[in-house]
Structure 1
Amino acid sequence: MNFLQNNKFNTKFKKSFFLVFLMFVLCSCFTTFAQKTYTIVIDAGHGGKDPGNLGNGFKEKDIALKVALFVGSELNKSKDIKVIYTRNKDVFIDLWKRGDIANVAKANLFVSIHCDSHTSNAYGAGTFVLGLRGNKMNLEIAKRENSAILLEDNYEERYKGFDASSVESVIGLSLLQEENLDKSLEIASLIQNNFTFKLKRNNRNVKQDNFQVLRETIMPSVLVELGFLTNKLEGRYLNSKKGQQQMGKSISDAIINYVRNLKINTVIEEVADTNIFDVAKNITEFKVQIASGKNKIATKSYNFKGLKNIQRVLVGSYYKYYYGVTSSYKQALKSLSMAKEKGYSSAFIVAFRNGEKVSLKEVNKMH
């Protein structure tokens, strides 16, 4: 065997050894983290003296509770999921208390279940995360769900004069922390996709708006509107056992998928933290975000002032456009400078590890 052949053999051996060793670490980590319990809080909207909407004589509080209990029963089949209900019977629970239950339990996810209503014959399912980017119709939904505040004892003191009928009060609610927003959008998309593609329900999309029950939580949280009780056909479906089980199964399947993703990401992060053969540096990716909006734009250079290799990513109902994807922070700085020269004055660098957004401060510490 000559030197060149020997060198090739050594290179192949090193690569094979690395792959085998990496698989060993992955398997070890997965075994460890597979034992972790994920706490999911299921919140049945309204209850007790608060019936919710009564479209066509159906009771939102009853339908929400039945779906919530079905979701919980499905999740309880998984050994690594612990289910907590904010209510498991027809009782009134303050909005602040619902979030407090999740916070005290240090839950990994909070899912609030509701039914919608409208003066028109609107129909379809939608999923919400907390935010300020709602249109007029979304604000009306938020105000309607938030109106339960008025039924709480001492609500004026607790919510400091919150007016459920005031747009100003709704807009004044604070945004969810950004690190939770990304995960909220992830689970919201999983739920919404199941409604749309598995059940063929009319897609009312993932949206952001100001629900007090979401504002109270400190973990990824979503609010699900199963459909419109004011629509006779949809109301009958949601009031039926079949409809409740189908919608509940779509939600539980999405949560199980979400938990599975959490496990995988946890394993990969553990491997990255070991710094085996400098793995951590190889899986950090930098991008320059140059634009964000609801319009889907072709990633051609002529649409982005001559910038090439644009990456488009759908996050909820918004498209984010990235330029200069690289594993080098220095190169990312050059790409940022180039983007600003082209006129993207508000462009900024973002970092990802294993597909998850991380802070630049954290990444720079590692490097």
Structure 2
Amino acid sequence: MDLRKEVTAAKLTDDLVVDILSRLTYKDFCRCKCAYKAWSAFSSDPDYRKKLPKKVTTGLLYQARDKSAIPLVSLSRDDGEIDGILADVPHYEHLEFLDCCNGLVLCKYKSSYTSPGICRFVVCNPATREWRVLPDTFVGTDSYRHTTILAFDPSWSPHFYVFNFSHSLVDKLEMFSSGGSTWLVDDKWDPEITFSWRKPQLFLNGMLCVQIDGQQVLVFEGLETMSYDILPYHYTIDLPFDSSPVNSFTDGCFDKSSGILHYALPDRSGRSIIVWTLDDYAHCLLHWTVKCHLNMEDAFGRKDLVYYDNGGISGASDWFWNCDYRILALDLERELVVLSDNKTMKLISYNISTGELNEIRDGIEEHRYYVPCYSELPAQEPSV
């Protein structure tokens, strides 16, 4: 957007801007939000967001254990399952779904021509049918364990970032920015920082937040410096103290609402989901407060949502805490929680407004929450 148009837009009142945006299709509205960041804040305003275009398709991406196609299970009642969401990605013999973030999808791929020890990634935007192949990384053999995370937020930056954590004999962290052309390597990565690929994560206001072992959140900031071959800095913050008894046995879920970090986890009885908010984060107060409780007892129609396994021959009878459900996605702005019901082996959604559960589909494979993004991928930077 040129300067003259920006000045003209700045003269309009918020009410007039929202009225104009409300007349657009959802796809055009998304493009406007990416072009002019001030407009993206309207989606978080409780009064304005009711007037703005709604999302057409939100859903859950997953891949079966046989690494077959990557379908999208839509959460819209009038839209069935959409097969082949990544149909336009160049064909590879082995395409493995790893992560998605704000409309972009990250996959690992290889073919019969891929040399041993080489790891290749491709980032795709299913909504615009674009894809971008990342430079090769040399990670050793496939027996090494890796956790790979995608970070992207078009309202903050047009660039995406990929973090590849290696849990091999030599722990290291590889980082890629679409604003550069090479991987950056932190070969002094602290091996004490460990987490599994299932741990919750969120990209918020230019910060990547990942839950790690030890009831903490690992936070990366300064990602924009990666375009200049400068490593971002990181630190840890503690999760809510009263979440620790349950955090040892199950994963919670992050969400961003009104630009603030939220964390959700079942309580010890399983009869409610507690949602905490990290208040006044910009002033580094780092204080978690309870935002709300979501009633699971009424939603499931029963109280017995938690059971215990014993700790072995000499272990306590109530050593291992188990819950009938697990939180897959939390979207407070759309008043939606996605759960996996381990008892019925179904995916279900919980409506925060009505307190009702709705069945999505059978099966509880690992899913990632998908929201379409209609901004174009950044242009490929030339290699030096």
Q: TM-score, normalised by structure 2?
A: 0.23
Which has more radius of gyration? 1
Give 1 or 2: higher strand fraction.
Answer: 2
Give 1 or 2: higher helix fraction.
Answer: 1
